[in-house]
Amino acid sequence: MASKENNSGGIAETFKTVFWALFLAGIIRTILFQPFWIPSGSMKPTLMIGDFLFVNKFTYGYSWASCPTVGGYNLCGFAKDWEGRMFQSEPERGDIIVFKHPASEADFIKRLIGLPGDKVQVLNGRLHINSQPVDLVATEDFVEEYGPQGPLGHRPRCANGAVGEGAICTKEAAEETLPGGVKHAVLNIGNSQGDNTGIYVVPEGKYFFMGDNRDNSTDSRFAQPYGVGMVSASYLVGRADRVMFSSAGSSILAFWTWRSDRYFKGLE
């Protein structure tokens, strides 16, 4: 009998351990950090396909978007009509932010360009904020190999035209300085729909986002549902500060493909 009691006690302890481990993981996932794996090239060269990072969820406070999504359903989706945030802190221009797409609620990651009240426009591929062109200094071309990238097998677009498998794919690169002093790299592939836009006035409580890979980014320059449009504060998930590691292969588990130059890389 003692043996059965010991076995029962051992099983109960195991269940308790598993329960508390899952509970703690859920708390961390909801309140502190969210893992995020970069699936597309819209933020190159700042973020590469296969970068793995943790999103800091307490930077801007908490809203319904802070809750995990399970089986395609956000656990706090019932609160979507609430536009506020608990313990709210305002994001800063230049922050790299994960947010929920206003139409599909999929997780997107872009750079914050326009704050409430700003006027944002792109003219001949150059960003203007409040009628002033941002500083833009040409740098060396961004170079990568042409071929499938990541688990989805996306192939990069190249400024040097159509190239063959394994050939060098280049994009024009420049350093952009936003009002406030944030400097970051941007890429240009060629003439595109987003190179010349109207003037966007950012409403109160909303934000304007763009990808650093300007000609390969679905962002606030394009209206919903195909684009992102303006993003409400309640749709912000958190800020990305650092890449933990990066996989150049088709699986995050393929450790032999991890990029040696991206371990714990800070983001600008």
Q: What's the confidence (pLDDT) of residue 74?
A: 83
223 burial class (0-12, 13-18, 19+ CB within 10 angstroms)?
A: exposed
Which residue range(s) make up the domain with 232?
2-266
Task: Find the angle CA(219)-CA(223)-CA(229) to the nearest 5 degrees.
Answer: 55
Q: What's the confidence (pLDDT) of residue 30?
A: 53
Q: What's the confidence (pLDDT) of residue 23?
A: 47
CATH number, residue 161: 2.10.109.10
Q: Of the residues 40, 42, 246, 247, which is catalytic?
A: 42
Whether 183 is catalytic? no
Q: What's the confidence (pLDDT) of residue 81?
A: 83
Q: What's the confidence (pLDDT) of residue 167?
A: 96
Q: How many domains does the chain have?
A: 1
Strand 135-145, strand 168-177: pairing: antiparallel
Q: What's the confidence (pLDDT) of residue 9?
A: 57
Whether 4 is catalytic? no
- Print pLDDT tens along the chain (268 aa): 445 555 555 666 665 665 455 545 555 555 678 889 999 999 999 999 999 999 999 899 999 998 887 777 787 888 888 888 888 899 999 999 999 999 999 999 999 999 999 999 999 999 999 999 999 999 999 999 999 999 999 999 999 988 999 999 999 999 999 999 999 999 999 999 999 999 999 999 999 999 999 999 999 999 998 899 999 999 999 999 999 999 999 888 888 999 999 999 999 8
Q: Of the residues 44, 57, 100, 110, which is catalytic?
A: 110
